[in-house]
Copies of this chain bind each other. A is one copy, B any other.
Amino acid sequence: MDKIRVGLIGFGTVGTGLAKTLTMQAERLQQKVGLPIELSRVADINLDALPPEYEGVVFSKDAADIFKDPQIDIVVELIGGIEPAKSFMLEAISRGKHVITANKALLSIHGREIFEAAAAQGVEVGFEASVGGGIPVIKALKEGLAANRIEVIRGIMNGTANYILSTMTQHGTPFAEVLKDAQEKGFAEADPTYDVEGIDTAHKLAILMSIAYGRHVTLDHISVEGISNIMPIDIDFAKEFGYRIKLLAISRNHGSHMEARVHPTMVPESSMLANINGSFNAIQFTGDTVGDILLYGQGAGMMPTGSAVAADVVDISRNIISSSINRVPPLSYLPEYFQEPSITPMSELTCPYYFRVTAIDQPGVLSSVSGILGSHNISIKSMIQKGQQPGEPVHVVFRIHEASEASVEKAVAEIDALDVITEPTVKIRVLIGND
């Protein structure tokens, strides 16, 4: 073997980041791996040629040219989406290529099929870039924390959502305005649904849970709420109470079952997660031996994600060179020990809550709302109404002590059915201690 040959499908942002990284770091990587790592081929249906600096790289519009090249050792899929990404990966695997992807949507939905195909063919699947962008979070969890029962996973895993919440917090700007600005600046996608509705975060949580617990967790297992109904007033109230609002992925391991949820959360302002701002990501693990670990960095972007994909290329190259393919099982546990997950029903969770009720400002509203809360055994910690506008809608905020999701659901439904209520009640879970 004289070198490791990489074929790249998708020359978009991350693909370009990988190509730049492999070029820029070529000498360094050879000094670490012992053989040159070469970007040999690139396929991209949207291009007619590569930029001139990639002169030696064979370009094609057809991904099949990459699988079919017997010289290619590693195929990197960076086109995103489900199809044709999935078919491309399975095709590459079936031809005995190792594969690398940053595609969290694909892995959180069809991961099992892909990992099983790879195991059957004896090839590797690298996916460091699928969670936390440039942060080496998958490697830390699989290898660095191998000797831990993971008790809690918590994280800010979507840079767009965090950028929006941070900007709302800093400038008091409404959600829609910040989103529009972020889209104009290229920080948010034209269709931001996955980012702001928590779906992208859920994709990532599914991957982390699978590794942490050795269970086949998919997107379907995860309860998801986004941030699009958060208003600056909620952020102001949160500040007043000593909290920041963050879109968190949370999983607690209860042994026989595990929580799996993504939702806006009020986080104590003194905590590390509260202080992760802008487009940064942070992922926190609590392990029974190690305690709390937090990993922080750029969760997206051309070069950070390129760094993570390149780390997978290095890892797999080392396994090729030392003939130790699948030396580490792709999901940490050996496939024969993998189990089905048992997810804690959301209705069984309990936590403190923040409610923002929007109601016509007239006598009796407070007593109706607090009566409903009381009838569901929900105990009120504090209540604030800002301003007074008799006959007009006003916001009234309730903080409640720990209550079950089931009671909260019912109580909020009853509150929202009151005649005086003008908008659906916004409810935000409050993080307590190590919850």
Are A147 and B311 closer than 8 Å at their CB atoms? Answer: yes
State how many angstroms separate the Cβ of A43 from the closest Cβ of chain B.
22
State how many angstroms separate the Cβ of A323 from the closest Cβ of chain B.
7
A422 interface hit (Cβ, 8 Å):
no
Q: Given known contacts A314-B146, A322-B327, is B334 in contact with A21 (CB within 8 Å)?
A: no
A297 to B295, CA, bound (A): 9
- Residue of A134, A214, A310 ringed by the most chain B CB atoms within 10 A: A134
Q: Cβ of A134: which chain B residues have Cβ within 8 Å of it?
A: 287, 289-291, 293
| Contact with A275, one of B128, B144, B275, B332 (Cβ below 8 angstroms) | B275
- Residue of A25, A293, A329 ringed by the most chain B CB atoms within 10 A: A293
The 29 sampled A-B contact pairs (Cβ below 8 Å) are: A21-B147, A25-B149, A28-B147, A31-B214, A31-B334, A31-B337, A32-B332, A32-B333, A128-B144, A134-B287, A134-B291, A134-B293, A139-B140, A140-B140, A140-B295, A144-B308, A147-B306, A147-B310, A272-B272, A272-B275, A275-B275, A289-B310, A290-B298, A292-B296, A292-B298, A294-B295, A294-B296, A296-B296, A323-B324
| Contact with A139, one of B17, B139, B147 (Cβ below 8 angstroms) | B139
Are B289 and A297 closer than 8 Å at their CB atoms? Answer: no
User: What 1/0 flags go to A12-30 for Cβ under 8 Å of B?
Assistant: 0000010011101100110
- Residue of A22, A28, A146 ringed by the most chain B CB atoms within 10 A: A146
State how many angstroms separate the Cβ of A224 from the closest Cβ of chain B.
27
- Residue of A20, A287, A291 ringed by the most chain B CB atoms within 10 A: A291
Known: A28-B146, A134-B289, A289-B310. 9 other contacts (CB 8 A): A32-B146, A136-B144, A144-B311, A287-B307, A289-B303, A289-B307, A290-B298, A318-B328, A322-B323
A29 to B149, CA, bound (A): 10
A139 to B328, CA, bound (A): 14
Are A290 and B307 closer than 8 Å at their CB atoms? Answer: yes
A304 interface hit (Cβ, 8 Å):
yes
A62 interface hit (Cβ, 8 Å):
no
State how many angstroms separate the Cβ of A177 from the closest Cβ of chain B.
25
Instruction: State which residues 254-305 of A face B: CB under 8 Å.
Output: 272, 275, 287-298, 301, 303-304
Shortest 4 CB-CB contacts between residues of A and residues of B: A136-B144, A147-B310, A324-B324, A322-B324
| Contact with A297, one of B292, B311, B318 (Cβ below 8 angstroms) | B292
Are A318 and B327 closer than 8 Å at their CB atoms? Answer: yes
In the complex, residue of chain B having the shortest beta-carbon distance to the beta carbon of A139: B144
